[in-house]
Amino acid sequence: MTLTHIENTIIELIRAAFPLNESATPLPALEDTNWPLLVKTADQHGLGPLVFASLKESGLLNVVPKNEIETLRLAYVRASVANRQAFQDLSCFIDRFEREKIPLIILKGGALAVTIYPDIALRPMGDLDLLIAPDTVERATRALIEQGYIAYAEMSHGFANRFSVEQGFLRKGNRPSQIDLHWHAFTTPYYFERIPVEWFWQRRMEISINHRRAFALSPTAQLLHLSAHYMMHSYRRLIWSYDLALLVARCYEQIDWEDVIESAEEFGLSQVLYEALSEVRKRWGIAIPVASYERLRTIQMPWRGRMVFAATNKLSDAELDALKGLGLRGTLRKSAYWLRVMFPSRGYMQTRYQINNRGLMPLYYLRRAGKAAHLIARAGFFVTRRTILSSRASG
């Protein structure tokens, strides 16, 4: 049984138990299923709780070996407990941010679990992603630190504010938690320097978190954001494609297809949206408006946008970090970014590499600079090669 077959079996199980449209999806053949591999694959894709619920809904719990069904059951229980704890913590921040007039939009899993999933335990969350206004970062950071969170070490003081649009925070102890603050919906420089974040703030909707008034992206903005999040990873988790499928199935009438297509074209995301919808339609059987789908297919992305999109599917995370500098505007800004990447602060180096002997610091700097230069060269070679191939194809 191949990995592709395993993934298809997982998808068919979920579609049969929780139909996304009026067409009945038959249960897959399970006689020769490699259950240890299926459970492992479901876990890797964030679908363990959903597979457990699907088997239970279809009356198939007795078909699965005892060890594997227990693993799936525990995945469901852990997601349920972790999510309830996460939403309790989030409730406190909603209250405080409202008092301090810090606008907040809950992104990705935190919003989806309470809006389109029938049970919050079916949407595991590794962290909470929160979108805030750029001028509130300092106040939001202070609120997190006062609640026991510690900011991830930056490469240098002010690096996140100057070259990025996000900052991660971690709380350890008996109730570990991770929160990522974003002041733009996109984390890739090419996009966050070209897409006005106001577009997302203008397309938000009210939701309820533990009986508190909160905000998430509207289905229209959610479709564009989730499509980009899904496609711009070298490893595409099935839970992200299921998010999209469930969004389209549950909110089809609320999505402004004209708006999302026009915005995708304006932002250089037409190919990203088209390929995301193509995968979702193929895998999950979701209906997409034919006219909208065909229109997306014919829109050409700018060449630099095509390079960024291609890079996210081919390069490693380390290479992508090196490549991010190319997306920044201005030669001086690019140079400053790479200089910080090659030679971060001493505090960052000590935390990152666990350096106890300060006398070895110069050697670690040389090693890091050499590796960074190598990654930048590889990423640059990839972009150059793709550019040449693209120009030949268009010529």
How far does Cα 316 stand from its chain's mean position? 16
Amino acid 380: pLDDT: 63
Mean pLDDT of 66-94: 96
* Confidence class for position 330, pLDDT limits 50, 70, 90: confident
Crossing angle of the two packed helices 35-44 and 66-99, in degrees rounded to 10? 10
What is the sign of the dihedral through the CA atoms of 115, 126, 172 and 343? Answer: negative
Q: In angstroms, what CA-CA distances link 54 with 300, 364, 387? A: 40, 50, 45
Residue 316 has pLDDT above 90, yes or no: no
Which residue has better confidence, 302 or 134? 134
pLDDT above 90 for 110? yes
Select, from the ranges 67-76, 162-171, 297-306, the one with the highest average predicted confidence (pLDDT): 67-76
CA–CA separation, 259 vs 150, rounded Å? 39
Answer yes or no: is pLDDT of 377 > 80: no
Please check the confidence at residue 386 and state whether its pLDDT lies above 60.
Answer: no
Q: What are the phi and psi torsion angles at 197 (to 5°)?
A: -65, -20
Q: Which long-range contacts (CB under 8 A, 24 or more apart) does 346-350 make?
A: 347/153, 348/153, 348/154, 348/155, 348/156
The residue behind tokens 């649009």 is: 165
